[in-house]
Amino acid sequence: MKGRISSLQSLGAVDGPGLRYVVFMQGCPLRCPYCHNPETWDESRGEEMEADALVQKILRFRPYLTGGVTLSGGEPLLQAGFALELFKRLKEEGFHTALDTSGCLEPPELPELLEKTDLVLLDIKRADAESHRREFGLPLEVPMGLLRRLERRNKPVWIRQVVVPGVNDGEEELRALRGLIEPFACVKRLELLAFRKLCAPKYEALSLPFPYGGKEELSRRRQSELQGKYGFVRE
């Protein structure tokens, strides 16, 4: 089966444990105002590739991949059939597989895909339901529904949230986020990621407005302060 790929990163260190091959899938139905990868949005862009050809590429890097393979995007659940075929092949080869998703879709292949997924990296974009719906056009209940499903399956999850100064860096909201996530035993990490604007030239090149272009970046110091206070790691 062919999939539409936006880009490939042969040695990624931030999308799951260890050094990983990261596959950025093309297409995303959301338009997050801080999105780092706007080039992945349009489903018609990217390059078509057979799952098996991609596995062959990944195998060349096997000696360096201390972690495994992460499927990111874009939204990988948009191409769930391809994701399933790829993960089946990767599991046959003995790789650890991670699925990086906003949890905004529920394709029919999802149960089988989760069988072949070792770790889910799930965005919970805001703890406040009203802000979640307003800023992302998606009810908080949708990714929370996936989280409940992952809890029932006892599937390891890392929850991630991009923290934007003046938007969701308030102590009250971050406390609420921790309160929302902590009861889920399947969640091994709650990671607060810093909003960055390195992606601004991508918006310019695509002639797209960068909605959060005028916001401040979150400093590393503040990020580690917030991570220490509200994030957690329990592996």
Which position among 22, 25, 32, 146 is part of the footprint of ligand SF4 (CB under 6 A)?
A: 32
Closest distance to ligand SF4 from the beta carbon of 180 (Å): 19
Q: How many other CB atoms are found less than 10 A from the CB of residue 61? A: 15
What does the block give as tokens for 89? 């092949």
Stretch of residues binding ligand SF4 (CB under 6 A), selected from 32-40, 46-54, 83-91, 204-212: 32-40
Backbone angles phi and psi of 149, in degrees to 5: -65, -40
Considering only residues 133 to 162 of the shown chain, the ones binding ligand SF4 according to CB under 6 A are none
Closest distance to ligand SF4 from the beta carbon of 187 (Å): 19
Query: Is residue 40 within the footprint of ligand SF4 (CB under 6 A)?
Result: yes
62: helix, coil or strand?
helix
Q: Cα(157)–Cα(119) distance, rounded to whole angstroms? A: 6
Binding mask 71-110 for ligand SF4 (x = CB under 6 A): --xxx--------------------------x--------
Query: Is residue 46 within the footprint of ligand SF4 (CB under 6 A)?
Result: no
CB 189, CB 235: distance < 8 Å: yes
Backbone conformation region of residue 68, classed left if phi is above 0, alpha if psi is from -120 to 50, else beta: left
What does the block give as tokens for 41? 């949005």
- Interface contacts to ligand SF4, rule CB under 6 A: 28, 30-32, 35, 37, 40, 73-75, 102
